Amino acid sequence: MLPSESIERVVELFASLPTIGKKTARRLAFHLLRQSEQDVEQFATALTEMRSRVRECGVCHTFTDADVCGICASPKRTQSVICVVEQPSDVMAIERTGDFRGRYHVLHGALSPLDGIGPEDLRLKELIARMTPEVEEVILALNPTVEGEVTTQYIAKLSSPLGVRITRIARGVPMGSDLEFADDATLARAFEGRTPL
Ligand code: ZN
């Protein structure tokens, strides 16, 4: 037990974040205590503002401060190719490669019956609604996990009556890992080697 309840509380909160252990949580709390009150206030305000301002893009469902995100609003991005990903962080990972000029669709997860995540919990209806005749290709870039695989097959089946060309990225991304942690070169290669479904 730390000799301060307020420090203890912050440590608990930091430790509740992914990948943050108790030791790192303590280090972060003490780091903040050494900052000026103004700096810590700015930090806290940035967190609350992020939470209240950020919402889903009305088109692709990635996180954005506006009604429509910068990618969907850009005339430079082709509407004929949609890349489907699980999370907004995957959009950032693919954008880092700088190769993809189409648009995205963020599902906000993957099918996982064991965790009670079904089709209605994902932005699947919205994806199907976007598969209009102008769309030439839908690239499935889901995580190489069991859930990602199940979701890939589900989307392929769901969209087959629409006649849209569905492809998936190559298996360069290691099985069981997250797309967002793949290095840029691997991700770029996976895009180049995509295969039809
Ligand atoms: Zn968007």
**6-32 pLDDT, tens digit each:** 999 999 999 999 999 999 999 999 999
DSSP character at residue 164: -
| Pick from 63, 67, 155, 65: nearest CA to 104 | 63
- Average pLDDT for 102-124: 95
pLDDT at 182: 76
Distance 176 CA to ligand 1 centre (A): 27
Q: How far apart, in whole angstroms, are the C-alpha atoms of residue 83 and residue 102?
A: 7
Distance 13 CA to ligand 1 centre (A): 31
**146-197 pLDDT, tens digit each:** 899 999 999 999 998 998 999 998 876 666 667 777 777 778 878 877 888 8
- List, in sequence order, the alpha helices (H) in the chain: 5-15, 22-34, 37-53, 70-73, 88-97, 124-130, 146-159, 184-192
Least confident residue range of 45-49, 51-55, 136-140, 190-194: 190-194
Distance 29 CA to ligand 1 centre (A): 35
pLDDT at 84: 97
Distance 47 CA to ligand 1 centre (A): 22
pLDDT at 98: 87
Rounded percentage of the chain residues whose pLDDT exceeds 90: 77
Q: How far apart, in whole angstroms, are the C-alpha atoms of residue 195 and residue 197?
A: 7
CB 138 within 8 A of CB 163: no
- Average pLDDT for 73-95: 95
- Average pLDDT for 64-79: 96
Q: How far apart, in whole angstroms, are the C-alpha atoms of residue 171 and residue 133?
A: 28
Domains recognised in the chain with CATH numbers: 5-53 (1.10.8.420), 57-168 (3.40.1360.10)
- Average pLDDT for 114-127: 95
Structure-token pair, residue 181: 């942690």
pLDDT at 166: 94
Distance 17 CA to ligand 1 centre (A): 27
pLDDT at 2: 62
Q: Exposed e or buried b for every residue in 138-169, given b needs 16+ CB within 10 A?
A: bbbbbbbbebbbebbeebbebbeeeebebbbb
Distance 144 CA to ligand 1 centre (A): 24
pLDDT at 194: 85
Distance 130 CA to ligand 1 centre (A): 12
